[in-house]
Chains A and B, each alone.
Chain A
């Protein structure tokens, strides 16, 4: 094994760089998460509209989840940066046993418009804990260069 075996970039062998941001589930911290989203998209050469869309989509997803998060819980946001697209998974532990992401809201419609693909996720809680609810979204870099 030589020094040459070390990866020369943040890219892993399968072409995905992963960035995870974990904060208190508090709306006051969402600006930090959307700034990370914006920065990753800019570095991945997204076009300016796509950067703006991803920033807004991540903000919307996080705001939706903070609303249902249990008190003093965490918001986990994982960015999978691939060639030409970024996949985002955000999740919280919900406070109420029947909590879910509401998809009949103006915010959800905006999210569907902003992202290329978006899904609400839900895993039932065990041992009396609330469920884990999340949002997965996918955003493409924009017009491919010719």
Chain B
């Protein structure tokens, strides 16, 4: 048993992880807004948020705004790719809004951008 008064081994427990929110900008369109860094620690909350997005059965336009994402690791890519496959089961393609190299580069270099419809700004993606 470890000592219950031992100092916490997670020194950055207050680190800003990931912020996500889901909105319905117009009928049939659901928008998931993501802010922060997507890495091995924050990929699970992103996966949960994507599940919530995919649970919107009425929607035929699923948009993920990654403009506020400043880092995307392979764990985050894997989560996005799984979501793309789940959307494909519903004959939908996820729309990704990517504004920065930090997000575009990982998608490009792994060839995974072909799984998504890519947009540079959110207004075009929800339209």
Contacts and interface: CB of A to CB of B under 8 A. Distances in A.
Do the two chains bind? yes
Interface of A: 24, 26-31, 34, 48-49, 52-53, 55-56, 59-60, 63, 66, 72, 106-107, 110-111, 113-114
A30 B11 contact: no
Nearest to A32: B12
Contacts of A106: 74, 77-78
17 contacts: A26-B9, A26-B11, A28-B15, A28-B41, A30-B40, A49-B101, A52-B102, A52-B105, A52-B106, A53-B105, A55-B71, A59-B39, A63-B73, A106-B78, A110-B106, A113-B109, A113-B110
B46 to A, nearest CB: 15
B101 A59 contact: no
A66 B110 CA distance: 23
Q: Which 7 A-B pairs have the closest CB atoms?
A: A110-B74, A63-B40, A28-B12, A107-B74, A52-B105, A59-B73, A27-B41
Contact of B75 (A28, A55, A107, A114): A107
Nearest to A50: B105
A56 B10 contact: no
Given A27-B39, A31-B15, A72-B9, 13 more contacts: A26-B9, A28-B41, A31-B71, A52-B105, A55-B71, A56-B74, A56-B106, A59-B40, A63-B39, A63-B75, A110-B74, A113-B109, A114-B109
Contacts of B74: 56, 60, 106-107, 110-111
Contacts of A110: 74, 77, 106, 110
A48 B40 contact: no
Given A52-B102, A63-B39, A106-B78, A26 B10 contact: yes
B33 interface: no
Contact of B39 (A24, A30, A111, A113): A30
B37 interface: yes
Interface string B65-95: 0000001111101100000000000000000
Contacts of A55: 71
Contacts of B11: 24, 26, 28-29
Contact of A29 (B12, B71, B101, B106): B12
Interface in B1-38: 9-13, 15, 37
A31 B109 contact: no
From B74, B105, B110, name the one whose CB has the most chain A CB atoms within 10 angstroms. B74
